[in-house]
Amino acid sequence: MSTRLSDEELIRQYLSGQPTHCFKALYDRYVNKVYRRCLSMTKDPLKAEDFTHDIFLKVFNKLDAFQERSSFSTWLYSISFNYCSDQIRLARRLQITDIEDSANYNIPDVTEEHLHEETLHLVNRAMKSLSANEQALLRLKYEDGMSIAAISAMLDLKESTVKMRLKRSRDKIYKLYSRLHTT
């Protein structure tokens, strides 16, 4: 095959009875992106791998529901985000506190590298105290580099709503970081 088929063409072929080739092509095209999304949300490579496989099974079982109102990648990304958020929410119902989470770290100011590590640690602790949706929104914007417009389309929100939620989440991080930094 000399030309690369679009996602939509592959989906049409899949739905018309050529499942193996189309599944493999779409899977190969997006598996790394979905895995990275899952890993950024779970921070656990094994969970991210399991979630990635679950997401692809879910997507291909629902492929006939894809209505091409957005690109396939956006649709897949949205399913990935929602699936991971749901799984994280379920896991939090049975949340177990790690002894390190409650430890008070008094790292001496030895080098700039140590300061940087301490800052990252405090920011991560502050991030963990946010809701899964707040964390995910910040990650979409700052880790994945998505535009406000893309985030609003993916989450089906107005751009002004996304901007306000980002601002509130950043403010919470700043307050929590400041509180943790002074303790």
20-79 confidence digits (pLDDT tens): 677 788 888 899 999 999 999 888 999 999 999 999 988 888 887 877 777 888 888 888
Alpha carbons 79 and 65: distance in angstroms, whole number: 12
For each of the domains in the chain, give its residue range(s) and CATH number, in order of start.
Answer: 1-96 (1.10.1740.10), 101-183 (1.10.10.10)
Q: What is the pLDDT of residue 150?
A: 87
Angle at 90 (CA atoms; ends 84, 95), nearest 5 degrees? 115
Question: Whose structure tokens read 């699936």?
Answer: 83
Q: What is the pLDDT of residue 2?
A: 41
